[in-house]
Amino acid sequence: MSSNHHIVTSVFEELFDGFRQHIRNILCHHRATSNTEEIDNTAIIETNTDSSSCKLYAVDREYWVDPYMKYFTMKHERKTPEINIGYYIRVTAIRKFIEKFI
């Protein structure tokens, strides 16, 4: 196998490990939060908005094809190539993961 394949595989593994830990943290926080406590969702909404903007820009730059991304955000900000590549790797990793699962 090529060294590029090993690099991409390594990045995918790191992303999945990070994703698993992120989900664990969310679940732990959710369990620790009482039902009566209000959670401020502003940060979550802003993160989602920024993420959608990044994905739209990456799609516009043809890192991958997604004809529906334009329906999820109106905001369009220029992002650095590193951010675009990061989103490309995540999208590719998730697609490969789903294809393996199916």
pLDDT per position as a tens digit, 3-38: 656 665 666 666 666 666 766 676 666 555 555 555
Mean pLDDT, to the nearest integer, of 66-92? 81
pTM over the 0.75 mark: no
**Residue 52 — pLDDT band, cuts 50, 70, 90?**
confident
Averaged pLDDT score across all residues of the chain: 74
Q: How far apart are CA 82 and CA 87, in angstroms?
A: 9
Q: Which residue range(s) make up the domain with 49? A: 41-102
Tell me, yes or no, whether 95 and 45 share the same domain. Answer: yes
**Residue 68 — pLDDT band, cuts 50, 70, 90?**
confident
Tell me, yes or no, whether 90 and 48 share the same domain. Answer: yes
Tell me, yes or no, whether 52 and 90 share the same domain. Answer: yes
Between 98 and 14, whose confidence is greater? 98
Tell me, yes or no, whether 27 and 65 share the same domain. Answer: no
